[in-house]
Structure 1
Amino acid sequence: MKNPYILILLIFISCAQKAQEKEETVIKAQDAVTASTDAPKEIAPKGFKECINAIEIKSIPLIEATNFDSFIDEDDHRNVDDNALKLEKIYPEFNKEGYHYRAVNCYRLELSKRFYSVVVTILKGDNEMESVLINYDLNGALIDSKVVSYDEIAEGQSRIESKIEEKKLTINNIFWIDEKKVETTSFLVKANGKIKAVSQEEILIDRVIQQLNLDKQKIKEEFVVSKVQPHNPNETIVVIPEVAGEDDEHLFELNSYIVLVDNTTQKITHTYFESAKTNGWVSDAIILSEISIDTAPYIVTQDTRAFGIRVFYYSMSQPNPYSNKTISLFIKSGETLKEVLHYDVENYGGEWDTQCEGSSTNIKNILIMSEEKTNQYFDIVVKSNITQSKTYIDKNGECNEESKTTSETRVLQFNGTEYVKK
C-alpha cells in the first residue's frame, strides 16, 4: 500500500519544481525588459562632426514644447551621444551618481552656416525634463546654450515652451498656481552664436526694421537710436541708419530712416527718408561719430511740437582740428515727417603746428523758441557764444594761450517750408 503514496509524492514534487522554474524564467524576462528600458544604451564613441551629421534636421520656425507626453512610446527615445555633444559641460552633474540624468532625444536646426545648433532633451531624474538649445562652433566647441522647454510631473505647476526662429527665441514661462500665468522673454541669436536677452526697446527696433523691409545686415547698428516722446509715452522716435556704401570702419555713407512708432501696436505711424546723397550722413576724412535724439520742447506752433536729430562729426587731423554738430527739427505732416530746420549747433576749427603755435574758433549755438510768429510758426532765436583762441611762444620760451569770447544773436523765421535766417 505504500508504493502508490510514494508515487503520488514524487509526481507532486516534480510539478512543484517545474512551476518554480517557470516562475523564475518569467521573473528573469521581466528583469531583462526593465533593464533594457532603464539602463542607458551603449553608444560607440565618435567624433563631433560624425555625431552632428547623423542628427535629424528640423525646419524653422518651430514651436519647442517637448514634455513627458512626448515620450509615451519606446520609439520616442533616441540615442544621444552625450560625450560628443559635451553635455557634461552644460550639466556638471550629468555623470554624477544619484542625479540620474539621461539624454533621450535631439535634433538639429540650421540657424547659421557659421555655427551648429542642436536641441537636446534631458531627463533630470524621474520628475523633470527639459530641452536645451546648444550652439557649437564649427570645430565642436561650446558657444552658448538656453533652455527652450521644460516639464515636471511632481507638482505640475510650471512649464516652458518656446518659438525658435533663425535669429530669435521667444520663451514662454508658464505657471499654474491660482490661475495660468505666462511670462514672455525674448532672446537674439547673434551672428557669433551667442544668445543674448533683448529689451523691449530692441524688440521695437527689430519690428521697425521689418516694417521698413530693410536688410538687417545693412543697418549700421552702432548708430541706431530710439527715445520715447516725453510728452507722449505711447510714442517712440526711432532712427535707422542704412549703409548706402562702405569701404571700411570710418568710410561709409548712410541713408536715414526716421520714424514714429505706436508703442502699443508697435506699428510705424510716421516716416521720413533721405538718401546719403543729400542728408550729409557721410563719414570719410571727417568722421561721423554720433547720432542722438533731442526731445527738448521745440514748440513751433500752438499745437505742434518738433523733435530734433543731432549728428556729430570730427576730424582726427592734428594740424587742422575740426568738429561739427548739427540739428534737424522734424514735425508730423500727414503720415510722414517733415524736416523744418537743419542748422549747425556747434562748430570748431583751427590750425596748429602740433607743438604750440596755433589758433582756433569755437562756436556754440543755443536755440530758443520765440513768442513772435512768422507764417503761423514761432520764430527761433539763436544765441551764439564764439570763442577765439590763440596759442603762442612768449618771450620766456613758454607756450601761452589767449582767448576771447563774444556773443551774437540772430533770428530764424519760417518761410512756409522751413526755417531760414531773417
Structure 2
Amino acid sequence: MQAKLHPLRVIDHSLTACKSFSTFVSKTIVALPVQNGVSDKGARTLDVELLLVQRPDNGNTERDTVAARLFLPELLVEDAHLRIQELRLDMGRYVLASGERAFGLRVLYRGDDPARPYSVETLRLFVVQGKTIRPVLDELVMQRDSGEWDLSCHGRFEEVRTQLTTQPPPARPAGAWAELLVRRSLVVRQMAVDENGQCAERAAAPRYTSVMLKARDGRYPIPPSLRAP
C-alpha cells in the first residue's frame, strides 16, 4: 500500500510506524515519512502522512483500504547536528470528549555533537473525524536531555520530563473538550573536579511547574515555554 500511495517518492521505511487503534475495530494508524529533500550535509526534510487503514477480516494486506488520512508537508526537519531517530504512535488514553479519543505521534531527535549532547522527544495529538485526521495539539516537548561540557569533566546538563493527562473542565457543558494538564520537572546538574581531583556531580533540587491547556476552536494552544526548540 505504501508504494501505491507515493509511487514516485522515497519513503523512509526505518521510521515508518503503525499501531492498532482500539477505538476503531480492525483499523490501524500508520505514520508514513516521505522524503521531501536532503541538504548537502545529509539533513532531511520529511513530509508525514497519517493514515487510518482498514484491514479485511481475512487479514489480506493486499486489500487494505484507507479510511481517513492527513498529509503534513515538511513536518520533520533535521539540521547539520540534529537528526530524527524514531517515530512512534502513542495510543494512550487521551479521551478529549465523549466519543472523541486522540492518538499521539512521538518523534525522537538526537544531536551528534559530543560536546553538546542533546536529545528530545516530542508529542503531537490527532483525532479521527470521518474521513479526515485532524491535529489538535502541536509539538509538545515530553523529554529533553541537553548540556555542554569540555569532554573531560566540567559541564552543565539539564533533564526535562513532562507528563500529560486529561482533566474534565470544572463546569463542563455538553460537548466541551477536556483540559490537558501538563506537569513538568527540570533537573540541572553541574560537573566539576572536586578537592580530591575526582570528577563529581552536583544536582540542584528539581523544579516543578504545571500548565493547564484549554481547547480553543478545536485545538490546544501551547505556550512558547512548552514548545520544541
The TM-score normalised by the length of structure 2 is 0.85
* 1:241/1:407 CA distance change after superposition, 3 Å: same
Q: RMSD between aligned alpha carbons? A: 2.1
Q: Distance in 2 between matches of 1:284 and 1:263?
A: 40
Of the candidates 381, 395, 398, which is equivalent to residue 198 of structure 2?
398
Q: What is the aligned partner in structure 2 of residue 347 from structure 1?
A: 144
Please point out which of 180, 205, 211 is paired with 1:410: 211
Tell me, in whole angstroms, the C-alpha distance in 1 between the residues paired with 2:77 and 2:219.
Answer: 20
2:214 is paired with a residue whose SS is strand
Cα distance, 1:225 vs structure 2: 1.2
> Contact conserved, 1:314 with 1:322, CA < 8 A, in 2?
yes
C-alpha distance after superposition, 1:151-199 (max 9, x if no partner): xxxxxxxxxxxxxxxxxxxxxxxxxxxxxxxxxxxxxxxxxxxxxxxxx
In structure 2, the residue matched to 1:364 is: 161
Unaligned runs of 5+ in 2: 57-62, 224-229
Report Cα offsets for 1:228-254 as digits up to 9, x if no partner. Answer: 113434110011111111257952111
Q: Following TM superposition, where does structure 1 have runs of at least 4 consecutive aligned residues deviating by more than 4 angstroms?
A: 247-250
What percent of counterpart residues are identical? 23
Contact 2:9 2:35 in 1 (8 A): no
Counterpart residue number, 2:71: 273
- Cα displacement string for residues 81-129 of structure 1 (whole angstroms, at most 9, x for unaligned residues): xxxxxxxxxxxxxxxxxxxxxxxxxxxxxxxxxxxxxxxxxxxxxxxxx
Which SS does the other structure have where 2:153 is aligned? coil
Q: Distance in 2 between matches of 1:356 and 1:216?
A: 49
Q: Alpha carbons of 1:299 and 1:263: their partners in 2 closer, same or farther (altered >3 Å)?
A: same
Q: CA deviation at 1:416?
A: 1.1
- Which residue of structure 2 lines up, in the alignment, with residue 420 of structure 1? 221
Give the CA deviation at 1:215.
Answer: 2.3
Q: Which amino acid aligns with 1:266?
A: D
Determine the C-alpha separation between the residues in 2 that align with 1:235 and 1:243: 25
1:273 is matched by which residue type in structure 2?
A: F
Distance in structure 2 (CA, Å) of the matches to 1:400 and 1:386: 20
Whole-Å separation in 1 of the counterparts to 2:131 and 2:201: 53
* Partner of residue 310 from structure 1, selected from 65, 86, 106: 106
Q: Secondary structure at the match of 2:121?
A: strand
Note if contact 1:270-1:332 (Cα within 8 Å) is conserved in structure 2: yes
Number of residues of Structure 1 aligned to a counterpart in Structure 2 = 212
Q: Which residue of 2 aligns with 1:221?
A: 13
3-state SS, counterpart of residue 14 of structure 2: helix
Q: C-alpha displacement at 1:396, in angstroms?
A: 1.5
Instruction: Find the residue that maps to 1:280 and give its secondary structure.
Output: strand
Query: Residue type of the partner of 2:136?
Result: V
Give the alignment's TM-score, normalised by structure 1.
Answer: 0.48
Could you tell me whether the CA contact under 8 Å between 1:348 and 1:362 is conserved in 2?
A: yes
Q: Is the 8 A contact 2:107 2:121 kept in 1?
A: yes
Unaligned runs of 5+ in 1: 1-206
1:270 and 1:249 map into 2 onto residues whose CA distance is 35
Label 1:219 to 1:208 Cα distance change in 2 as closer, same or farther (>3 A): closer
Match of residue 10 from structure 1: none
SS in 2 for 1:415: coil
Q: Which residue does 2:92 correspond to in 1?
A: 296
Higher strand share: 2
- Is the alpha carbon distance of 1:250 and 1:420 closer, same or farther for their aligned partners in structure 2, counting shifts above 3 Å? same
Structure 1 residue aligned with 2:45: 253
Q: Which structure ranks higher in relative contact order (CA pairs < 8 Å, sequence separation ≥ 6)? A: 2
